[in-house]
Amino acid sequence: MASNLVASLENAVSLPVAERASALIVIGQSLLDGEANGASGNLSAQVAGHLAALLEDHGGSGKDRMSIGEMLGALGDPRLLTPNDAGYWVTVTSDDDDIHIGQYPVTNAEFQKWVDKGGYDNRAAWSDDGWAWLQDCDDPWPVRATSDGSAPFVVSNQPIVGVSWFEAEAYANAHSARLPRADERVWVIRGHERRPYPWGSPFGEGNANTREEVLGRPCAVGLYSRDRTPEGVCDLAGNAGEWTTDVVGNDRLIHPGAWDQPSLAAWAKALSIEAPSARWAGLGFRLAKD
């Protein structure tokens, strides 16, 4: 009954942080199971709001936080915006100019909206090389996202992974944006203080979703509250590696810090080279704009 869930929610939010998450997750599951008798919309939003607030707290293990992120994604994450929303962007002041960059990597939710609107049929968004790649590709992201074993990687509030540079470029073009330059991304992490990681130093434990966390997959964006710059740009060290716009011969530069990579890949200046057609389960992207 809805009244029982309301009472449970009131009790849950009064619990200590360490106990609150599990109680909210139980309530969220009840809502997903249809136990609110028509009142689920409002209650879901309330539970999601409390779960989002918990992500600002750094307590609990990585797996505890992952459970919070998963339930938040299932209920509808209120933090998720699109490139058309002003709150999507963070402005970082550098020595040369202001850098306008996405607060989070591009998520599955926002990318899926573009797919649903015909993004893969919109020739205008694709470069010539990208369109040629797409015509020869049997499994672009919309196909891969529905394949066996893909479910852990397509949670709505997780960063999109497994996309080629061409797909990332097309998404950026469609939103009057671009991929960040490698030097811009380095500056966003390091800032005027020249931080080696968004939180400073040392690398430490529990600060970013890298291989050492043994989560074994991406997690909700913004879940690691220390993997965040003072301006609020999140997930720069771990969770998903990111394409940049930089061209090296026929290849592209990426920042490799991701859930399946070691902490050495999380360093601000870490770079790797990939073919633009490369796709792997730890590689995504974020947007920048002029």
Cα dist from 104 to 108, 214, 262, whole Å: 11, 22, 21
Indicate if the alpha-carbon torsion angle 216, 222, 224, 227 is positive or negative.
positive
**Residue 193, pLDDT score:** 95
Given a cut of 70, the residues of the chain with pLDDT beneath it are 1-2, 35-40, 58-61
What's the pTM? 0.92
Q: Model confidence over 61-89: pLDDT tens digits?
A: 677 788 899 999 999 999 999 999 999 99
- Residue 253 makes CB contacts below 8 A (sequence gap 6+) with 182, 244, 246, 271, 272, 273
E strand or H helix at 207? none
Q: What is the pLDDT of residue 11?
A: 87
CB-based burial, 109-140: b 16+ in 10 Å, e otherwise: bbbbebbeeebbeeeebbeeebeebbeebeeb
Q: What is the pLDDT of residue 35?
A: 66
Residue range 148-202, pLDDT digits in tens: 999 999 999 999 999 999 999 999 999 999 999 999 999 999 999 999 999 999 9
Closest to 207 in 3D by CA, of 231, 230, 234, 187 = 234
At CA 196, angle to CA 107 and CA 286, rounded to 5? 20
Instruction: Give me the pLDDT at residue 64, please.
Output: 77
Which DSSP letter does residue 160 get? Answer: P
Thinking of the domain 86-289, which architecture would CATH place it in?
Alpha-Beta Complex (3.90)
Q: What is the domain partition of the chain in residue ranges?
A: 2-75, 86-289
- Give the Å distances, CA to CA, from 242 to 13, 18, 71: 36, 33, 25
32 residue type, one letter: L
CB-based contact 204:62 (threshold 8 Å): no
| Cα(208)–Cα(222) distance, integer angstroms | 10
